[in-house]
């Protein structure tokens, strides 16, 4: 009897210890989940306070992740429009979609539409590529003209596609596709100079460089080759800041990040200075690839924002955006270490949330 009692007590003890262990494990797991959810919430909470957190989830007004990868931005009146590749899950694979959003402050984005394109004639509808869409608004014709990199799945066609619409977010009609000046064209970039002249940047692999080309008055064609920047780069972007042109681009490593570089010139047509790193090389541009340089000209200051993509090749829908105000001037351009920041769109001043 005594033995049985002992065993019973021992069993009881063991159960108690197991319970304590279980509770401890559950507690640690809960703590871990809380820490993680806090981090997720923080990026979104900051967004609600008007702060951009580079690399964090960025939600639109419907609380969906913004789908505008490899994107471009235009300012029409006081509204910014952001276009880019919509790589959301569950889209009809027979179409390509361009995400279109609007904002008054560059932080809060209203979803406008998924602009849907079918493969142009001659392209396999199951295996074609529409990348890096860029939309220009032509004030004379009052039309929105969209350029994109059009390709087959093996990236051999290397063309540009153009679509046009009377409205910013719908009704785009496919117009034509071609190789500009007969040259292969892959990644494209968009640049509108202070005098309103519109340029397209396109990477042309066989020439080991990228071309800066002026668009025609109606933006419907690539009219004049301004220069060939002799450096094998893609993700090309350009900005005009205090009398100098700054061009940036990434090396040719596909979806993998590398150390993006910049050069300067007094004229769009060059000559361009040698290229230099725009961030510590070991950071690989903090895991991002350039897509655009956006200049916000405020009443007090012009701020240049680096727009980069943090690609996730195996989960493209979850690719992130790395936007940061650049240190720029006197021929130098530098991407500071990413941290939360905010911009006053009116004055152009930037504040860092942690300072």
Q: Which residues bind ligand GAL (CB under 6 A)?
A: 70, 131-132, 187, 234-235, 254-255, 289
Rg over alpha carbons for the chain, rounded to the nearest Å, is 25
* Continuous segment of H or E residues that includes residue 229: strand 222-229
CB nearer to ligand GAL: pick between 132 and 240: 132
CB nearer to ligand GAL: pick between 258 and 269: 258
Minimal distance in Å, beta carbon 271 to ligand GAL?
26
Distances (CA, A) of 242 to 261, 301, 331: 20, 11, 10
Minimal distance in Å, beta carbon 82 to ligand GAL?
17
Minimal distance in Å, beta carbon 140 to ligand GAL?
31
Minimal distance in Å, beta carbon 207 to ligand GAL?
17
* Spatial distance between the Cα atoms of 324 and 311, rounded to a whole number of angstroms: 16
Minimal distance in Å, beta carbon 84 to ligand GAL?
11
CB nearer to ligand GAL: pick between 43 and 235: 235
Cβ-proximal residues to 93 (8 Å cutoff; 6+ apart), any chain: 126
Question: Torsion-angle region of residue 157: left (phi > 0), alpha (psi -120 to 50) or beta?
Answer: alpha
Q: Which residue is nearest to ligand GAL (CB)?
A: 254
Q: What is the CB-side half-sphere exposure of residue 170 using CA atoms within 13 A?
A: 3
CB nearer to ligand GAL: pick between 131 and 193: 131
* Continuous segment of H or E residues that includes residue 294: strand 289-297
Structure token pair of residue 284 = 């690989």
CB nearer to ligand GAL: pick between 237 and 296: 237
Residue 238's CB: how many other CB atoms inside 10 A? 22
Q: Is the peptide bond before 271 cis (omega within 30 degrees of 0)?
A: yes
Minimal distance in Å, beta carbon 132 to ligand GAL?
6
CB nearer to ligand GAL: pick between 214 and 251: 251
Q: 155-176 in b/e burial notation, b at 16+ Cβ within 10 A?
A: eebbbbbbbbbeebbeebebee
**What is the three-class DSSP state of 206?**
helix
Minimal distance in Å, beta carbon 232 to ligand GAL?
11
CB nearer to ligand GAL: pick between 202 and 341: 202
* Spatial distance between the Cα atoms of 155 and 184, rounded to a whole number of angstroms: 10
Minimal distance in Å, beta carbon 151 to ligand GAL?
8
**What is the three-class DSSP state of 153?**
coil
CB nearer to ligand GAL: pick between 84 and 325: 84
């Amino acid at each position: 009897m005594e033995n049985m009692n002992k065993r019973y007590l021992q069993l009881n003890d063991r159960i108690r210890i197991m319970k304590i262990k279980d509770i401890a494990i559950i507690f640690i797991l809960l703590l871990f989940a809380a820490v993680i959810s806090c981090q997720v919430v923080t990026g979104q909470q900051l967004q609600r306070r008007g702060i951009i957190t580079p690399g964090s989830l960025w939600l639109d007004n419907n609380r969906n992740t913004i789908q505008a990868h490899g994107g471009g931005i235009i300012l029409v009146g006081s509204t910014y429009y952001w276009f880019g590749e919509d790589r959301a899950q569950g889209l009809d694979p027979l179409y390509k979609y361009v995400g279109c959003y609007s904002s008054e402050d560059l932080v809060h984005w209203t979803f406008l539409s998924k602009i849907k394109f079918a493969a142009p004639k001659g392209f396999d509808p199951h295996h074609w590529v529409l990348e890096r869409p860029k939309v220009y608004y032509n004030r004379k014709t009052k039309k929105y003209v969209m350029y994109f990199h059009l390709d087959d799945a093996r990236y051999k066609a290397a063309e540009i596609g153009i679509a046009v619409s009377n409205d910013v977010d719908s009704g785009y009609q496919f117009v034509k596709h071609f190789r500009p000046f007969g040259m292969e064209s892959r990644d494209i970039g968009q640049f509108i100079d202070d005098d309103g002249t519109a340029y397209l940047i396109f990477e042309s692999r066989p020439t080991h460089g990228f071309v800066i080309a002026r668009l025609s008055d109606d933006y419907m064609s690539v009219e004049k080759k301004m220069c060939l920047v002799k450096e094998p780069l893609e993700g090309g972007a350009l900005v005009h800041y205090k009398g100098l042109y700054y061009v940036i681009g990434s090396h040719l490593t596909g979806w993998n990040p590398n150390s993006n570089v910049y050069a300067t010139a007094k004229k769009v047509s060059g000559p361009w200075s040698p290229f230099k790193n725009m961030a510590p090389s070991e950071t690989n541009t903090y895991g991002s690839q350039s897509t655009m340089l956006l200049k916000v000209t405020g009443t007090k200051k012009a701020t240049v924002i680096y727009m980069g993509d943090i690609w996730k090749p195996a989960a493209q829908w979850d690719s992130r955006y790395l936007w940061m105000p650049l240190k720029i001037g006197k021929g130098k351009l530098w991407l500071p270490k990413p941290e939360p920041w905010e911009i006053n769109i009116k004055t152009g001043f930037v504040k860092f949330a942690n300072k």
